[in-house]
Amino acid sequence: MSSASSRHIHPWVFMVLIIPFGVVSGYVTVAIAYYLKQAGVSVGQVAGIVALALLPHTWKFLWAPVIDATLSQKTWYWIGAILTAVGIALMGAMPPTKAGLAILSVVVFLTSSATSFIGMAVESLMAHATPEELKGRAGGWFQAGNLGGSGIGGGLGLWLTQNLAAAWLAGVIVAVLCFLCALALFLLPETGRSHPPGGLVTGLKSSIQDLW
């Protein structure tokens, strides 16, 4: 894509797109943690669930080559957005029982993994759709969306949890807001896939070597 065609894309688009990434973190660490603690769940169990939300981001470099080598960035974003919205809605619907906490743990882990698809897709779109002179601004808007999303997930999620009659309603509202962020994709042009040199296996090996 030429720089000229990218000049019409304001960097705020990337702020909107990355909001769900931050929302999940804030929703789990603040709203869900508060809900569970109020229901009598131990601090250790709550901390374990919060840790599961962070775990996928430690290892997401392992599936980054898959995202680069297979579907388009927009397709991966849609996949991540759908899974994230469904996951948030399910989080709010899980009862604080032994079985409910087990399911919640799985949902939190999978939803957090889905947000990694969103994050990597947005980063790739930002790299391809932003001219050099706007990349600094785009990065700033990106970080604002990430941090703002954490505030929305934590602050708004907590307020809804405290003020709505049913906890699951809070999850549904936050999930819908997250999914609506995907509409900003229509403001971006389609970009091609960036195949890792040597294919998927080589790309994975390269990621591990770079980390090591």
> By residue range, what is the domain housing residue 189?
3-211
Residues in the chain, overall count: 212
Q: How many domains does the chain have?
A: 1
Q: Give the CATH number of the domain where residue 187 resides.
A: 1.20.1250.20
Distance CA 83, CA 62 (A): 19
pLDDT in tens, the chain (212 residues): 444 344 567 889 999 999 999 999 999 999 999 999 999 999 999 999 999 999 999 888 788 888 877 888 999 999 999 999 999 999 999 999 999 999 999 999 999 999 999 999 999 899 888 888 888 999 999 999 999 999 999 999 999 999 998 889 999 999 999 999 999 999 988 765 555 555 556 666 666 666 65
Query: pTM for the complete prediction?
Result: 0.85
